[in-house]
Amino acid sequence: MRHRGGGIVGYNVQTAVDVEHHLIVAHEVTSSGSDRGFFTKQDFIYDTRNDVYICPAGQSLTKGAHRSDRQSDINFYRHLSACSNCHLKPSCTTEKLRRIRRWDQEDVLDDIERRLEEKPDAMRIRRSTVEHPFGTLKAWMGHTHFLTRTREKVAAEMSLHVLAYNFKRVLNIIGIAP
pLDDT recorded at residue 72: 61
Q: Which residues pair with 73 in a beta bridge?
A: 68
Going from the first residue of the chain to its last (178 residues), give the mean pLDDT of each consecutive group of 10, the final group possibly shorter.
Answer: 48 67 69 66 89 92 73 80 88 88 82 79 74 82 82 87 88 81
Report how far Cα 6 is from the mean position of its chain's Cα atoms: 23
Domain ranges of the chain: 12-174
Cβ of 100: how many Cβ atoms within 10 Å? 19
Note whether 13 and 31 are within 8 A (CB). Answer: no
The DSSP line for 79-136 is -TTTGGG-TTGGGT-SSSS--EEEETTHHHHHHHHHHHHH-THHHHHHHHHHHHHHHH
